[in-house]
Structure 1
Amino acid sequence: MNLALIQDTDIVSRSGDVLRACLSGRQHEHIVKIQKLGPGRELQVGLLNGNMGRALIYEQDNTSTHIEVTLSQEPPPPNPIRLILALPRPLMLKRVLQTATSMGVKDIHLIHSNKVEKSYWQSPQLGDEELHEQLLLGLEQGVDTQLPNIIKHPRFRPFAEDILPSLIDGKNAFVAHPSPDADLAQPTEDETYLAIGPEGGFTDYEIEKLQAAGMKALSLGPRILRVETAVPVLLAKLS
């Protein structure tokens, strides 16, 4: 945890840019057992969807850490990449969401694909609370406060035909696909949509639909990478 995140429910009082908050649960345990910080010590904090700053621990007990915070630092700029991701298996989804969030991605579209098990869409890992927890972990790791948006699209064809064309209109848009005529990943500062398929890749039909909507094939070379590897590699190369 490189940044302690304060949520509205943690705030005890507030006056201008200075607030007092009470951290408990996982964050309190980390402060005490990992960072080994107590009263009189400082730590880096951020207000969820707000500014960041330094916090002074003014009180601590067995269950909570009480801090006084001055929020004067803006969070880092968002990553220009918008991620379109074929729903991974649940355990991989947790890692991918944390990684993408820590790298500054602010829009994540989870879509269906022929190679995605339908049962994945019923996984408890897709619950709002579970997704929120993974995003918080990613923000803490990446020292950021701005929560990403996650949009779920459990049907591929309606997404590709009805939603995607307007979503990417006038923007860079790529689908990771190792075809001979694919572009090589290059850095960009422009808003860009990036689609990454499931293990084994999108089907030919799905590639045709994505390209018909306006996406171009993008390649990392001849090697086939796992989703959890492809996501950070492509994000790093593009941004």
Structure 2
Amino acid sequence: MNLALLFEEDFAAADRAVLTGRRLTHLHEVLKVAEGDLIPVGRVDGNIGSGRVLSLTDSQADILVELTEAPPPPLPLTLILAMPRPKMFRRVLQTCATLGVKDLWLIHSYKVEKSFWQTPWLSAEHLRENMTLGLEQARDTVLPQVNIRKLFKPFVEDELPGLLQGKRALVAHPGTTTPCPTHLDQPTVLCVGPEGGFTPYEVGKLESAGCEGVHLGPRILRVETAVPVLVSRLFDACR
């Protein structure tokens, strides 16, 4: 936890916050703070800064908050991702938040098992939990927007064209002829398929909507690997 992300319910006053649960455990067991110490904090969708520990017990930490710095800039990226396997979805979501992805669309695909959509990790509570972990890692405060679309064709035909307007549109797919571009500095839409990639029909529909097929070379990567590789290649995400 490189930053304690504070939500509205954590504030007892405009400049006072109370930490409990996971964040309190981190203060005790990892940071080993004492009263008077400063810790990095940020307000969700707001500034980052520091919090001075006013009191510390086994049940809560009271901190005096000063937020003076803007969070890191977001990536100019709309990421459209075929719903990953639940066991890796948490990691992918945390990675997206860490890298600065703010606009995430989860879509269905032929190779996505219908049971994937039943995972509890898609609940609002768990989405917020995992995005928070990703933001805390990156010292960021702005929660990504997650949109869920369980029907591929209606999404591609009815919504995707609007999302692509004014943006460079890419679909990452093994076997295409164009290498993934680098060092982009423009609004971009990136479509990433499930394990094994989109079907030829799905790639065709995405290309008909305006997406350009690109690849990362001959190796087939897992989704949890492909996403950070693609994002870092496109935008120099760690700049």
TM over 0.5: yes
1:188 maps to 2:184:
yes
Deviation at 1:123, TM superposition (A): 1.4
Number of the residue aligned with 2:49? 53
> Residues of 1 paired with 2:166 and 2:51: CA distance?
43
Which has the larger displacement, 157-166 or 182-191?
Answer: 182-191
1:24 maps to 2:20:
yes
Number of the residue aligned with 1:12? 12
- TM-score, scaled to structure 2: 0.96
Which residue identity is paired with 1:37?
Answer: V
1:77 maps to 2:73:
yes
> Residues of 1 paired with 2:41 and 2:215: CA distance?
38
Q: How does 1:97-176 map to 2 (within 5 A)?
A: 97-176=93-172
1:33 maps to 2:29:
yes
SS in 1 for 2:183: coil
Instruction: Answer yes or no: is the 8 Å Cα contact 1:175–1:216 preserved in 2.
Output: yes
Deviation at 1:177, TM superposition (A): 1.1
> Residues of 1 paired with 2:99 and 2:156: CA distance?
26
Instruction: Answer yes or no: is the 8 Å Cα contact 2:176–2:214 preserved in 1.
Output: no
SS in 1 for 2:174: coil
Q: Which runs of 5+ in 1 are unaligned?
A: none
> Residues of 2 paired with 1:182 and 1:77: CA distance?
29
Post-superposition CA distance 1:40-91 (Å, at most 9, x none)? 1111100011101011101011111110011110001001121100000112
Deviation at 1:178, TM superposition (A): 2.3
> Residues of 1 paired with 2:22 and 2:176: CA distance?
48
> Residues of 2 paired with 1:8 and 1:169: CA distance?
35
Instruction: Answer yes or no: is the 8 Å Cα contact 2:174–2:197 preserved in 1.
Output: no
SS in 1 for 2:52: strand
> Residues of 1 paired with 2:180 and 2:100: CA distance?
22
- TM-score, scaled to structure 1: 0.96
Deviation at 1:180, TM superposition (A): 4.3
Structure 1 vs Structure 2 CA RMSD: 0.8
Deviation at 1:183, TM superposition (A): 3.6
SS in 2 for 1:184: coil
> Residues of 2 paired with 1:28 and 1:189: CA distance?
39
SS in 1 for 2:66: strand
Deviation at 1:147, TM superposition (A): 0.5
Which residue identity is paired with 1:229?
Answer: T
Aligned pair count?
235
